[in-house]
Amino acid sequence: MSADLLTVSPSPHIHTDLTVPQIMRGVIIAMIPALLFSVYNFGLGAVYVTLLAILFCVVIEYAIARYLLKRPASIYDGSAIITGMLLAFNVPTNLPWHIILIGSAVAIGIGKMSFGGLGNNPFNPALVGRVFLLLSFPVEMTSWPKAGATWSLDAVTSATPLGILKDGLRAGDTVPELMNQMPSYTDFFFGLQGGSLGEMSAFAILLGLIYMLYRKIITWHIPVSMLATILLMTGIFWLIDPTRFANPVFHLLTGGIMLGAVFMATDYVTSPFTHRGMIIFGVGIGVLTVVIRLFGSYPEGVSFAILIMNAFVPLINSYAKQPRYGSKSQRHKAYQEKLEKEVKATP
């Protein structure tokens, strides 16, 4: 037997040609359509917030790696750029620079580097920064610029569709009455509405999804299971009482559901590594998102849902892990148990 036919090596035994920097560049390219649309929709504010968030994240990660952890800078893999872009995508375009700096410091310092850097963080760093800002600066984080490009950093603010719905229902209005105040579904799909920088256009985000699926950077399991769960649950509540609950299309096209499903929940480090685990993870995010949206205090729930499910990833991985090569499958075990019962029952 030739020595080349049998090679014994430690795991992992399956390798990919894609390197970490190549994957990060692919994700950045996938985010460009949403970024370009946000510039079209919000003008100079989108450029300002995005550049600042990227700059702060890169500098903070470099400083922590170089001067606190005393190891080579880890900024060249592109993950700090993605964290900055995702943080920017989750905030309004009129956010002051010092709040962006605080959010970047929390995202990189607490969400990422305190656990050891890329590959070790249990929670999505950008969402850690976003939720911290939402709890610390609720007024600034919910002051949404009105859609319409402006080349000034001053912006006219307006309520988001989810905010209109939540406030209106609290005031005793019905969903059909509130829908008359909303943009059309075409505007929802293309993103002509107020809200966070990168969550506006479902069309632009879907272009990014198609690109990442084509490049095999992600698989369909998390986005599809998450969106299908939200579609099913909101559809059931809508059928039960359409005067109190909005229809599922409204929920899919508003807020950060599309952004979360495509770019946040699919983070390699903070999501399960088996397809079955990914589906469980996506379903869990979908259920929590709907519960928070329909019955919680916040009009949006995606960020909280993803962070909560991030905490369950080790448990999901343990439950949904692939059987070891050579181990007996569950079906085989069930077959053996059945045979043993038949033998015992035979007189």
Q: Cα(267)–Cα(23) distance, rounded to whole angstroms?
A: 11
Give the least confident one: 144-148, 172-176, 295-299.
Answer: 144-148
| Rounded mean pLDDT, 49-70 | 93
Q: Check pLDDT > 60 for residue 2.
A: no
pLDDT confidence of residue 96:
92
| Rounded mean pLDDT, 88-115 | 93
Q: What percent of the chain has pLDDT over 70?
A: 86
pLDDT confidence of residue 330:
63
**Other beta carbons within 10 Å of 301:** 25
Adjacent-strand bridge partners of 145: 157
Q: Is 218 exposed, middle or buried (0-12, 13-18, 19+ CB in 10 A)?
A: buried
Q: Cα(323)–Cα(330) distance, rounded to whole angstroms?
A: 9
Q: Cα(318)–Cα(105) distance, rounded to whole angstroms?
A: 32
* 118 Cα distance to chain centroid: 17
Whether omega for the bond prior to residue 12 falls within 30 degrees of 0, making it cis, is yes
pLDDT confidence of residue 153:
56
Q: Check pLDDT > 90 for residue 306.
A: yes
**Other beta carbons within 10 Å of 284:** 21
Please state the three-class secondary structure of the chain as a single string: CCHHHCCCCCCCCCCCCCCHHHHHHHHHHHHHHHHHHHHHHHCHHHHHHHHHHHHHHHHHHHHHHHHHCCCCCCHHHCHHHHHHHHHHHCCCCCCCHHHHHHHHHHHHHHCCHHHCCCCCCCCCHHHHHHHHHHHHCHHHHCCCECCCCCCCCCCCECCCHHHHHHHHHHCCCCHHHHHCCCCCHHHHHHCCCCCCCCCCCHHHHHHHHHHHHHCCCCCCHHHHHHHHHHHHHHHHHHHHCCCCCCCHHHHHHCCCHHHHHHHHCCCCCCCCCCHHHHHHHHHHHHHHHHHHHHHCCCCCCHHHHHHHHHHHHHHHHHHCCCCCCCCCCHHHHHHHHHHHHHHHHCC
Q: Check pLDDT > 60 for residue 136.
A: yes
Q: Check pLDDT > 60 for residue 1.
A: no
Across the chain, what does the average pLDDT equal?
86
Q: Check pLDDT > 60 for residue 258.
A: yes
Q: What is the pTM of this model?
A: 0.85
With beta carbons less than 8 A apart as the criterion, state whether 121 and 111 touch. Answer: yes
Six-digit token string for 194 = 């107020």
Task: Name the amino acid, one letter, at 17.
Answer: D
With beta carbons less than 8 A apart as the criterion, state whether 86 and 264 touch. Answer: yes
Report the candidate in 92, 197, 107 with the shortest Cα–Cα distance to residue 139: 92
- Angle 202-214/20-42 helices, nearest 10 degrees? 160
